[in-house]
Structure 1
Amino acid sequence: MLEAVIFDMDGVLIDSEPLHFLVEQQAFAKLGLPATKEELDLYVGMTNPDMWAKVKERHGVELPLSELIEWQVEMKLSALKKSEEQAIDGVTGLLEQLKAGRIAVGLASSSPKVFIMAVLEKLGISEYFDCVVSGEEVPKGKPEPDVFLKAAELLNKPPHSCVVIEDSRNGTRAAKAAGMKCIGFQNVNSGEQDLSAADKIVHSIREITLPVLEAL
């Protein structure tokens, strides 16, 4: 029985992956690293600490992890403030359906909490979420299940009663590892993500309705 829906944020609520890509492309270029789409697609859905830890290991970057993360977050907040992004088509309608159906709603994102709250404020949809969890608040980020399990705990719902909406390979793997159902949103702006682990794949948020969620 469906009791809760847990949303990823980047690429699901807001089309922010191009923003992330642009900032990371600039950061990689400044560090003298390959800033190709193929390289950056590897990190979609990861927390900033996990991403930079892998980058440091992969490319031998010597700058401290904390400095890289702070630099990246400041750049992204600045880019978000200047952007005119709105909620992805269908998101507000789906949130209204869930509210009317009295289904608990959570947000579990790999982004830092400060960026998550900035996005929710920009989109004007904070009121719909019963809990918000950043991947940086749990021991391990996606593709590990920690962030989704924490969201279920805060919602006081068993994992098997939760459905996750994700747009990344790392996210879908994390949702399934948490014992949850998962809808994969094939967002063209999120790169060529392998969503085969999802229980259902959609190409528009408008395809996700309360009956569809309840049927999983």
Structure 2
Amino acid sequence: MKAFIFDMDGVIIDSEPMHFDIDVKTMNFFGVTISPQELEEFVGMTNPEMWKILKQKFNLSNSVSDIIEYQLSSKIEWIRTTEISPINGIYELILELKKHNIVLGIASSSPIKFINEVLLKFKIRDYFDCIVSGEEVAKGKPEPDVYLEAARLLGVDPSDCMVLEDSRNGIQSAKSAGMTCIGFINKNSGNQDLSRADIIVNSIKDIKVTDL
């Protein structure tokens, strides 16, 4: 392992309940009633890809960009006003990886604006050698583009990268990129199939850098 690449939502920040809540409220604002469970299949996907599917499925008249503008402003306001810390064990894992001279990246489906808000909130931005949003590549998760771009920016072969993910779409993306993947069981991320992961953990603290 020469590089360790983190997903963000559900891995660094336990934000999936917030995403479900605001996405449900966003759908309600635009005239559609939907349950959080109906949104679980979209965990790990980019906003444009998710809302394109939902717009078509529910025949929404508003544009995808209008929907995202409403949704994203609500989520950024939540980050700025909510007392929240990184998922237990994340700080320690980052420091341990750095101690072993492992380069670090983030490959998240969230918009770059939201990613930066989270990293600034937690004061961990400077630990990461690259940050890639799924909206900055041709295809988001479950396609491999975002992880391949992170590996390119880090200057590391995909086969030398370890990924930490919490969703089926994210794990598929990492494995399709030719990377080793740790699946983190986060109950707040919904019912996710992590079976394709090489390692599955119940806690970030279960990840031992020396064993990797």
TM norm structure 2: 0.98
Q: Distance in 2 between matches of 1:82 and 1:181?
A: 36
Residue number in structure 1 paired with 2:121: 122
- What CA deviation, in whole Å up to 9, does each residue of 1:178-203 have, x standing for no partner? 00000000101111111111111101
C-alpha contact (below 8 Å) 2:109/2:135 kept by paired residues: yes
Displacement after TM superposition at 1:34 (Å) = 3.3
Secondary structure in 2 aligned to 1:68? helix
Secondary structure in 2 aligned to 1:164? strand
5+ long unaligned stretches in structure 2:
none
Amino acid at match of 1:101: H
Displacement after TM superposition at 1:33 (Å) = 2.1
- The aligned runs of 1:22-171 (5 Å cut-off) are 22-171=21-170
Amino acid at match of 1:24: D
Amino acid at match of 1:194: D
Secondary structure in 2 aligned to 1:105? strand
Residue number in structure 2 paired with 1:172: 171
Residue number in structure 2 paired with 1:18: 17
- What CA deviation, in whole Å up to 9, does each residue of 1:41-92 have, x standing for no partner? 1211111101101101211112111111111111110111111110110000
Secondary structure in 2 aligned to 1:85? coil
Amino acid at match of 2:174: A
C-alpha contact (below 8 Å) 1:12/1:165 kept by paired residues: yes
Residue number in structure 2 paired with 1:193: 192
Q: How many residue pairs get matched?
A: 212
Displacement after TM superposition at 1:32 (Å) = 2.7
Secondary structure in 2 aligned to 1:42? helix
Residue number in structure 2 paired with 1:203: 202
Overall identity of the aligned pairs, in %: 50
Q: Distance in 1 between matches of 2:116 and 2:36?
A: 27
Q: Distance in 1 between matches of 2:17 and 2:173?
A: 22
C-alpha contact (below 8 Å) 2:183/2:201 kept by paired residues: yes
Displacement after TM superposition at 1:133 (Å) = 0.4
C-alpha contact (below 8 Å) 1:19/1:80 kept by paired residues: no
Q: Distance in 2 between matches of 1:22 and 1:82?
A: 16
Q: Distance in 2 between matches of 1:211 and 1:188?
A: 27
Q: Distance in 1 between matches of 2:21 and 2:210?
A: 37
C-alpha contact (below 8 Å) 2:132/2:150 kept by paired residues: yes
Q: Distance in 2 between matches of 1:192 and 1:34?
A: 20
C-alpha contact (below 8 Å) 2:21/2:36 kept by paired residues: no
TM norm structure 1: 0.96
Displacement after TM superposition at 1:22 (Å) = 1.1
RMSD between aligned alpha carbons? 0.9
4+ long deviations beyond 4 Å: none
- What CA deviation, in whole Å up to 9, does each residue of 1:1-41 have, x standing for no partner? x1000000000001111111111010112223232122111
Displacement after TM superposition at 1:116 (Å) = 0.2
